[in-house]
Amino acid sequence: MPAPLPSERAFIPFVSVENMMRLVHHVGIETMLVELTDAIEADFRRWELFDKTPRVASHSHDGVIELMPTSDGAVYSFKYVNGHPKNMAQGLQTVTALGLLAEVSTGYPVLLTEMTLLTALRTAATSAMAARHLAPQKARCLALIGNGAQAEFQALAMKAVLGIEEVRLYDIDPRATQKTVRNLARTRLRLVPCTSAQAAIEGADIITTCTADKQYATILTDNMVGAGVHINAIGGDCPGKTELHRDILLRSDTFVEYPPQTRIEGEIQQMDPDYSVTELWQVVSGRAQGRSSDRQITLFDSVGFAIEDFSALRYVREKLAGTDYFQKLDIIADPDDPRDLFGMLLRAA
């Protein structure tokens, strides 16, 4: 007698890279960035409901492998993600990721998905959310220092959410800048390739640094940064990796996701333990002030936090309803009698 088929409960939706790309194009890239920005902001407004812990990191000479868990009490999520800057020399991605959602009430997974693309989208959406609260009003010019895999997502998120019109581009590898110009050619953004970081930030309202090398770097020096700009620093995201000269931080009002994690991994790892920061969720929820003057330098020291991944996973699960942009995976054992797991195995012979 054949073994009974698993119940529907045993199957969970799995979103492959191919289906994630289909979903993004179905929604529209800029529409998805706007909706992700709103989804992340909604969860930042209920920040206090979430479990919060610095990500669990396994560092090696070549990079880092991390787990990023959180829960709002009803749904649990985690992301597996790596960061290996040397991978590019082998034709590999420097960052890859996958993520999972589960019901807290049963512990059963309800979504498994690729998160390499989704992390790029949610990182850009988080940047745009922060800039919505911290950047100068009517910001129209973005400088992108570092034109790798994240660059186009950052540019489109700032365009879709803030109305950015001009993007000034610089990378130490001119081919990266050429790639970014080519990919953004049809977006109606005014694209200005530059030959130095100094040239790129001239006239910029927002400066985004997104370089990949795992080292203490000085992408921006103090004399390069004028009054009134918003800096979106997303490249420094692990111990021993920074992008800004510490004197810039002394002149800036700095906003972070989760201080215990950012003090280890962010730009502020260069500073004394009592260096003052404001948690971004407090600004989003109206408990703290963001930009307070036209000459203020605001800095979003972004290292990425698990609640942003939770928001992205929750958003994708909602968007899958009524579509075929997923597969059903049979990865949960489902014996007729929950106590008889061995019997289920025997009947499969």
Which residues are part of the catalytic machinery?
A: 237
Question: SS3 for 32?
Answer: helix
Among 115, 55, 38, which residue's Cα sits nearest to residue 305?
55
Q: Helix or strand or coil: residue 163?
A: coil
Distance CA 293, CA 152 (A): 29
Beta bridge partners of 238: 241
144, 151 Cβ separation under 8 angstroms: yes
40 and 311 Cβ atoms separated by less than 8 Å: yes
- 125 vs 57: CA distance, rounded Å: 24
Burial of 225 (C-beta count, 10 Å sphere; 0-12/13-18/19+): buried
The shares of helix, strand and coil residues in the chain, as percent rounded to the nearest 5, are 40, 25, 40
